[in-house]
């Protein structure tokens, strides 16, 4: 599927990984979300990036968000209740909204 116009983008940096949440439009002015995981790997004197992308369509937004919340809550309350997850809370600057011109792929 060819990527269409980018409407909104949020980048989340997480160690050697970066997640991109991009809202895009279709030719018929519909919207969908792409979630891209980019992982950095050393190669020679520099780095190479491995990317995985998934597409999320409007009819699945609520089901996806609910399943993600349920899975995270299960880990926090059932599997790791002793962990203080507030220590991992992000600082506001970690969630920069970026413009299309700021995206650097290959």
How sure is the predictor about 49, in pLDDT bands with cuts at 50, 70 and 90?
confident
Any domain includes 93: yes
Note the pLDDT of residue 93: 53
> What CATH number is associated with residue 24?
3.10.450.700
pLDDT number for residue 14: 87
Indicate the number of domains in the chain.
1
Q: For residue 71, what is the enclosing H or E element?
A: helix 61-74
- Residue 1 in domain: no
| Measured CA distances, 63 to 10, 33, 90 (Å) | 21, 14, 25
Asked if residue 96 has pLDDT above 70, the reply is no
pLDDT score for 43: 86
Domain span at residue 53?
6-102
- State the pTM of this model: 0.70
Average pLDDT, the chain: 84
In a domain, 65, yes or no: yes
Q: Assess if residue 12 is contained within a domain.
A: yes
Q: What is the pLDDT of residue 38?
A: 95
- How much of the chain, in percent, has pLDDT values that exceed 70? 80
Give yes or no for a contact between 27 and 4, defined as CB atoms under 8 angstroms apart: yes
């Amino acid at each position: 599927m060819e990527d269409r116009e980018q409407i909104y983008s949020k980048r989340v940096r997480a160690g050697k990984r970066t997640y991109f949440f991009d809202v895009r439009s279709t030719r018929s002015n519909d919207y969908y979300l792409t979630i891209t995981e980019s992982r950095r790997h050393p190669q020679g004197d520099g780095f190479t990036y491995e990317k995985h992308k998934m597409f999320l369509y409007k009819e699945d937004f609520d089901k996806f968000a609910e399943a993600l919340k349920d899975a995270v809550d299960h880990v926090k309350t059932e599997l790791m209740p002793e962990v203080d997850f507030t220590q991992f809370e992000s600082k506001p600057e970690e969630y920069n909204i970026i413009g299309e011109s700021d995206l650097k792929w290959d």
